[in-house]
Amino acid sequence: MVNQKLVGFEVKRIRADFPILDRETQPGIPVIYLDSTASSQKPIAVIEAMNVFYRRSNANIHRGVHTLAEEATALYEEAREKIAKFINAPAAKQLIYTRNTTESINLVAHTWARANLKSGDMVILTEMEHHSNLVPWQMLKSERGIRLEFITVTEEGLLDLDSYRSLLDQNPKLVSFTHMSNVLGTINPAEEIIRLAHEHGAVTLVDGAQSVPHFGVDVQKLDVDFLAFSAHKMVGPTGIGILYGKQDLLENMPPFLGGGDMIKSVHLQEFVANELPYKFEAGTPAIAEAVGFGAAVDYLTSVGMDAIAAHEHEITEYALERLEEVPGLNVFGPNSQDKGGVAAFTFDDLHPHDIAQILDRDGIAVRAGHHCAQPLHEKFGVRATTRASFYLYNTKEEVDKLIEGLYKVKEVFN
């Protein structure tokens, strides 16, 4: 048995908060959930917050004066305040509810970028981006003729900051990059990247889909201009995410979708856009999901982001150690020092689908494919990887099960 050293919290107690972790995928086979990078599980507190909202307070928000509408509006806005506090935003109105990280990035590409970028303008991205921070810019490239340049990724899976510095000298307008890679696990030096961008007059966007869930992210300390993240990866519900932006940027951006709520007044021929953040929130939003998002942030805060990060670090370090023992297995990305709770690997020449499917027989949930980072896989010369990822509820015993499972995979294909 592995000695379960406890860092800041007792995993067993955390696990009791997540009902799904009790389920069996087949009789006698408990689920071992190693796919939180794709989407995390949800604690009772989040499930119940949404449940109670629908049972007690449900109504459309804003403009309603009846009790339920008042309550729903208050809950929706309280959640925004909680999330704002969670990332240390100066004001809650700088947080725009979106559907997810992807929509948040698209919002910036549609509004800020269309108002500020013209043909030939340069946008710096990195080779480790998720498709959601690539395709919106590629679309703008074909529409506008903007120029895309990429910070290269080294063999170990780190950003090559020299390549960044040489791009900075070419007058970039925007630097948009992931805080943490969902494949390599690399945690990028966001503060430095942002400082350098600002020194060169560029606006910055951080894809926080993998950072905000896993360690404390402070938008003022980072001095980031835009930050995008999703609730579903941070123990919250699907269908809701955040775009944080600096106030002057948001105020000067044209609206995104047109319709109700995003207007101050509407006439037959024109409209006046609403104030922040409603200017960017057209139509009835995901109200119960916002309430669930607020509860998720409360939950993470009560556990403590530092404790979560420390726990994940310990599990990841242990997992990397154990994975290294498996002959023919190769983990991508840096060692645990610069790495979040992600281990994407190849295993002999076994196909990730086969690996994942055989692991599933033991209840082990991992992901197989290019994880929406096809260019990164091309860079490393592989079509697909198998990815195990860890969150606050994972244990070393689960890592042990993964390793046993991998040996079984090998047996099947001996």
Partner 1 sequence: MDDLYREQIIERYKEPHYRGHLDPNDIQFEDDNPLCGDHIEITLRVDKDDKVVEAAFDGHGCAISQSSADLLVESIHGKALDEIKSMNKDAVLDLLGIELGHVRLKCALLSLKVLKAGVYGLGEANDDLVA
Ligand X SMILES: Cc1ncc(COP(=O)(O)O)c(C=O)c1O
Q: Which residues bind partner 1 (CB under 8 A)?
A: 351-354, 357-358, 361, 368-370, 383-384, 412-413
Out of 210, 274, 336, 385, name the contact with ligand X by CB under 6 A: 210
Residue in this structure with the two tokens 């990397």, named with its chain if needed: 320
Helix, strand and coil content of the chain, in percent to the nearest 5, comes to 45, 20, 35
Q: Half-sphere exposure of residue 372, counting CA atoms within 13 Å on the CB side?
A: 14
Task: Give me the least distance between CB of 378 and partner 1, in Å please.
Answer: 10
DSSP secondary structure string, 212-231? TTTS---HHHHT-SEEEEEG
Q: Which of 40, 94, 101, 394 binds ligand X (CB under 6 A)?
A: 101
230 binds ligand X (CB under 6 A): yes
Neighbours of 323 (CB within 10 A): 19
Residue range at the interface with ligand X (CB under 6 A); choices 3-11, 27-35, 117-125, 205-213:
205-213
Q: Which of residues 11-70 bind ligand X (CB under 6 A)?
A: 38
Nearest distance, CB of residue 46 and partner 1, angstroms: 27
Is 133 catalytic? The answer is: no
Q: Does 261 bind ligand X (CB under 6 A)?
A: no
In whole angstroms, how close is the CB of 130 to ligand X at the nearest point?
3
Kindly state the smallest distance separating residue 248's Cβ from ligand X, in Å: 26
Query: CB of residue 239 vs ligand X: minimum separation in angstroms?
Result: 10
Q: Which of 59, 196, 273, 372 is catalytic?
A: 372
In the complex with ligand X, the residue whose CB is nearer, 73 or 289, is: 289
CA distances from 331 to 59, 157, 328 (A): 49, 11, 10
What contacts 24+ positions apart, CB below 8 Å, involve 195-202?
195/223, 196/164, 196/165, 196/168, 197/124, 197/168, 197/172, 198/223, 199/168, 200/168, 200/169, 200/171, 200/172, 201/171, 202/124, 202/168, 202/172, 202/173, 202/174, 202/175
Nearer to ligand X, 38 or 273 (CB): 38
389 binds ligand X (CB under 6 A): no
Is residue 126 at the binding interface for ligand X, with CB under 6 A as the rule? no
Tell the burial category of 337 from Cβ atoms under 10 Å away from its Cβ (0-12, 13-18, 19+): exposed
**Is 151 one of the binding residues for ligand X (CB under 6 A)?**
no
**Are the CB atoms for 141 and 169 separated by under 8 Å?**
no
Counting contacts by CB under 6 A, is residue 281 touching ligand X? no
354 binds, among ligand X, partner 1, none (CB under 5 to 8 A by kind): partner 1
The set of catalytic residues is 372
Name the site residues for ligand X (rule: CB under 6 A): 38, 100-102, 130, 132, 178, 182, 207, 209-210, 230, 372
